[in-house]
């Protein structure tokens, strides 16, 4: 049951909104008492963290510590971002190579586009799933099918005209299979 801070005997604490992980961690360490503040998101049907309540003295100590090493943390974030970008580029290249292996007729530029889209960090797309990171055939094929569906068929137009998703997919299934077959068989023709 929700309670106001004064009713819960927490009125002496100050609110620290979410967003600064280092400050939050240090403020909680420096406070004798800390409380997580959540709010129920009706649309998503779950509680979401809003921040923490901490003692004012603990927050002040945490802020001083964060100011003291702000440059070190900024350099680390920059270095980590660069490392992640390099990893993402290598992964997208490997994903594109796997697409070209499975679909030799897929144009190289298109394979790179599909790989970049499917493997975008934080996207929740198939390339970021465990199967996608393992470059499993099923994940790669799913990414290619999704691209063909949106780029090479009338799928998006059908959806925009109010056709239900399952019906739109049924209507364009043959078109998708034709493109996939052409991309697969192009490798057989050139090999033979």
State the first-to-last Cα distance of the chain, in angstroms, to the nearest integer. Answer: 71
Please report, in tens digits, the pLDDT of each residue of the chain (192 residues total): 667 777 777 888 999 999 999 999 999 999 999 999 999 999 989 999 999 999 999 999 999 999 999 999 899 999 999 999 999 999 999 999 999 999 999 999 999 999 999 988 877 788 788 888 888 899 999 999 999 999 999 999 999 999 999 999 999 999 999 999 999 997 665 554
pLDDT at 7: 79
pLDDT at 187: 62
pLDDT at 188: 61
**Contact between 34 and 54 (Cβ < 8 Å):** yes
Q: Is 48 exposed, middle or buried (0-12, 13-18, 19+ CB in 10 A)?
A: exposed
Q: What six digits make up the tokens of 69? A: 């090493």
């Amino acid at each position: 049951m929700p309670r106001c801070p004064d009713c819960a005997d927490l009125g002496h604490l100050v609110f620290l909104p979410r967003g600064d992980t280092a400050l939050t961690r240090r403020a909680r360490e420096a406070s004798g008492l800390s409380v997580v503040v959540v709010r129920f998101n009706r649309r998503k049907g779950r509680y979401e963290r809003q921040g923490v309540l901490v003692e004012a003295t603990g927050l002040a100590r945490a802020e001083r510590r964060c100011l003291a090493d702000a440059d070190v943390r900024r350099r680390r974030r920059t270095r980590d971002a660069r490392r992640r970008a390099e990893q993402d580029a290598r992964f997208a290249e490997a994903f594109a190579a796997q697409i070209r292996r499975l679909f030799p007729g897929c144009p190289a530029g298109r394979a790179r586009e599909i790989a970049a889209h499917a493997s975008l960090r934080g996207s929740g797309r198939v390339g970021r799933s465990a199967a996608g990171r393992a470059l499993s055939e099923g994940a790669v094929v799913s990414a290619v099918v999704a691209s063909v569906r949106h780029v090479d068929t009338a799928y998006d137009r059908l959806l925009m005209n109010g056709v239900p998703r399952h019906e739109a997919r049924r209507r364009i299934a043959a078109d998708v299979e034709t493109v996939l077959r052409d991309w697969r068989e192009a490798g057989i023709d050139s090999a033979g």
